[in-house]
Amino acid sequence: MKSAKELQKELTFSVDHISRTNPEMWAKSQEFCEAYKDFLSVCKTERETVSHIIEMAKANGYTEYNPEKVYTAGDKVYLNNRNRALILSTIGQQAVDNGTHIVASHIDVPRLDLKPNPLYEASEISYLKTHYYGGVKRYQWAVTPLALHGVIYKEDGSFVEINVGEDENDPVFCISDLLPHLGKDQRERKMGDVLKGEEMNVIVGSLPFIDENGEDVKDAVKLATLVYLNEKYGITEKDFLRAEVEVVPAGKARDVGFDRSMVGGYGHDDRVCAYTSLMAELETKNPTKTTVTIFADKEEIGSTGATGLQADYLKNFITNLAMMQGVNYLTALQNSKCLSADVGAAYDPTFADAYEPLNSCYLNKGAVLTKYTGSGGKSGTNDCGAEFMAEMIALFDSKGVCWQSQELGKIDQGGGGTVARFVAECDITTVDIGVAVVSMHAPFEIVSKLDVYATYEAFAAFINR
Ligand code: MN
Ligand code: MN
């Protein structure tokens, strides 16, 4: 007869802290996250992420994909989709009708975008008007240092890149909030309206342009801003209409905690999955199946547009590979498998009411496998079948990958979605997996270093199997 303890061990399931199960991972995860922090600190927009990844890819033997060219096993290519999304691929030994191994993360992050016509002056202060992008708790973005990143095209077709607020000698920018002393009316507002969309105005200057001849001019502070921008970048006010400038939190990613066990920074969702899948992809040599590592745009607003994953560029890429190899592209899609690489909501004991502890993910317990997302009765989800769950669990267990499972918060508390359903709708078997994040979508999000490393190991195990 077995003892109760033996039976409990045999029959129940729980996940322990990685430091207990895999003590050797700590040193590896620390080293891995040094490079990750650098990546996170320089990649603050989807465009910067695309160009940074292309540089890394080129250094690792990738060339720009040409659909007219014939590629053979081991060849590495990149496809730049309009400078805002990217595919990296390593051609497999088997033809693509045997299926490909896809890992799909997203590189857009909640932020404030400049409005098309953003510049104005009020009470001799010049401001840039913004339009928030994605799921933003707006009050979190006021009274904190902000940086401007982006591109501006000019009349002659040339463009300038803007990146101000990151260097310690740079100025930063800021959105104001009302002092508590005068907050009687503001305190009555609902949380979503503590700062309204039209109050997200970024302070960029307060000195007027002084005319040599003492001539008075209307909006002299706005003019001074324009004179500065013209001298520095050669632009005029009209050029904002052909620009994409994002307002993001200024500053670098940092270690968090006395024990430095966590990384805090802007944009873990979802650059933590972008970076971990990138590392797995770059290191892949001669995989059995072709790898397709996607860095998508527009996930935060529903995967729309030509660079979001509702567009056909993933399907088109696999179709082109199939045509090159003379095999059936529909079979290629049908036999492909995808890890939708996106973050999970780490259980936060301070806000325990929002979670269901049995089905939450936790810091330091490994890559988070998410069978389904959605809201209001799983609406809008790709609900991964038991077969693929079984396949991934067997893979991770056999390769010693630390993993856990979650559903996003307790039932009817909210919910969310990922790119999973859009990949799955291409007839591709898909499941969600990623890193647990604390304070998701805030200007400063937190992840655990052990989880980052575990997730990298999960992607490597998947694409190299
Ligand atoms: Mn995400
Ligand atoms: Mn998100």
* Banded model confidence at residue 149, pLDDT cuts 50, 70, 90: very high
The reported pLDDT for the residue numbered 465 is 86
Verify that 236 and 280 share a domain, yes or no. no
Model pLDDT, residue 349: 98
Q: What's the token pair of residue 221?
A: 């502070």
Distance 138 CA to ligand 2 centre (A): 15
Determine the distance separating the centroid of ligand 1 and the alpha carbon of 51, expressed in angstroms. 20
Region 292-304: mean pLDDT is 98
- Let me know if residue 422 belongs to a domain: yes
CA of 438 to the centre of ligand 1 (A): 13
Q: Are residues 98 and 130 in the same domain?
A: no
- Separation between Cα atoms, residue 70 and residue 185, nearest integer Å: 67
CA of 113 to the centre of ligand 1 (A): 18
Ligand nearest to the CA of 341: 1
Domain identity same for 354 and 332: yes
Q: From the CA of 271, which ligand is nearest?
A: 1
Q: Per the domain annotation, does 97 fall within a domain?
A: yes
* End residue of a domain, out of 187, 216, 249: 249
Co-location of 326 and 371 in the same domain: yes
Task: Calculate mean pLDDT across residues 61-69.
Answer: 98
Q: Based on the domain organization, do 283 and 232 belong to the same domain?
A: no
Q: How far is the CA of 267 from the centre of ligand 1 (A)?
A: 9
pLDDT at 311 > cutoff 90: yes
- φ, ψ at 296 (rounded to 5°): -95, 160
Neighbours of 105 (CB within 10 A): 28
Evaluate whether residue 259 is within a structural domain: no
CATH number at residue 295: 3.40.630.10
Q: Tell me how crowded residue 67 is: count the other CB atoms within 10 A of its CB.
A: 12
pLDDT the model gives residue 63: 98
Q: For residue 173, how far is its CA from the centre of ligand 1 (angstroms)?
A: 26
How far, in Å, from the CA of 343 to the mean position of ligand 2? 8
| Same domain assignment for residues 58 and 130 | no
Clarify whether residues 128 and 244 are in a common domain: yes
Structural tokens at position 413:
């508390």
Last residue of a domain, which of 192, 222, 249? Answer: 249
**Could you say which ligand is closest to the alpha carbon of residue 270?**
1
Tell me the three-class secondary structure of 4-55, residue by residue: HHHHHHHHCCCCCCHHHHCCCHHHHHHHHHHHHHHHHHHCCCHHHHHHHHHH
pLDDT for res 336? 98
Exposure class string for 128-162: b at 16+ Cβ within 10 A, else e: bbbebbbebbbbbbbeeebbbbbbbebeeeebbeb
- Calculate how far, in angstroms, residue 194's C-alpha sits from the geometric centre of ligand 2: 21
CA distance 261 to 31: 12
Task: Report CA(372)–ligand 2 centroid distance (Å).
Answer: 15
Q: What is the mean pLDDT of residues 385-407?
A: 97
Average pLDDT over residues 140-149: 98
Minimum-distance ligand to the CA of 107?
A: 1
pLDDT at 232 exceeding the cut of 90: yes
Cβ within 8 Å of residue 148, ≥6 positions away: 114, 162, 163, 164, 165, 173, 245, 246, 247
Say how many Å lie between the CA of residue 374 and the centre of ligand 1.
Answer: 13
Does 256 map to a domain?
no
Distance 129 CA to ligand 2 centre (A): 23
In angstroms and rounded to an integer, the radius of gyration of the C-alpha atoms of the chain is 24
Peptide bond into 270 cis (omega under 30): yes
What's residue 164's pLDDT?
A: 98
Q: Pick the ligand that lies closest to the CA of residue 272.
A: 1
Q: Are residues 136 and 89 in the same domain?
A: no
pLDDT tens digits for 125-135? Answer: 999 999 999 99
Span between the terminal Cα atoms of the chain, in Å: 40
Q: What pTM was computed for the model?
A: 0.97
| pLDDT at site 301 | 97
Look over the chain and give the mean of its residue pLDDT values, rounded to a whole number: 97
Q: Are residues 301 and 430 in the same domain?
A: yes
Tell me how far the alpha carbon of residue 109 lies from the centroid of ligand 2, in angstroms: 7
Residues in contact with 239: Cβ distance below 8 Å, sequence separation at least 6, in sequence order: 152, 153, 154, 155
Per residue in 404-458, pLDDT tens? Answer: 999 988 999 998 899 999 999 999 999 999 999 999 999 999 999 999 999 999 9
Q: In whole angstroms, what is the distance from residue 249 CA to residue 144 CA?
A: 7
Average pLDDT over residues 313-321: 98
Q: Which domain holds residue 135?
A: 111-249
The whole-angstrom separation of Cα 297 and Cα 307 is 5
> Is 260 inside any structural domain?
no
DSSP state of 100: -
What's the gap in Å between 268 CA and the centre of ligand 2? 9
Q: What is the pLDDT of residue 179?
A: 97
Q: Quickly state the pLDDT bin for 1 (edges 50, 70, 90).
A: confident
- Output the CA 344–ligand 1 centroid distance in Å: 8
Q: Do 348 and 445 have their domain in common?
A: yes
Does some domain include residue 294? yes
Instruction: Report how far ligand 2's centroid is from the alpha carbon of 272 (Å).
Output: 12
Give distance in angstroms: CA of 304 to centre of ligand 2: 14
Q: What percent of the chain has pLDDT over 70?
A: 100
| pLDDT of amino acid 403 | 98
pLDDT of amino acid 130: 98
Q: How far is the CA of 444 from the centre of ligand 2 (A)?
A: 13
Q: Give the separation between CA 372 and CA 406, rounded to whole angstroms.
A: 9
pLDDT at 363: 98
Does residue 203 share a domain with residue 86?
A: no
What is the number of the ligand closest to the CA of 342?
A: 1
Give the ligand whose atoms come closest to the C-alpha of residue 420: 1
270 C-alpha to ligand 2 centroid (Å): 7
Q: Is the pLDDT of residue 256 over 90?
A: yes
Task: Retrieve residue 204's tokens.
Answer: 């960029």
Average pLDDT over residues 206-218: 94
Using the 3D structure, point to which of 249, 276, 297 is the last residue of a domain. 249
344: number of Cβ within 10 Å: 27
The number of domains in the chain is 2
- The closest alpha carbon to 264, from 251, 277, 282, 278, belongs to 251
Give the whole-angstrom CA distance, residue 270 versus residue 76: 24
Residues 82 and 210 in one domain: no
* Ligand found nearest the CA of 110: 2
CATH of the domain at 205: 2.30.250.10
pLDDT in tens, 280-290: 999 999 999 99
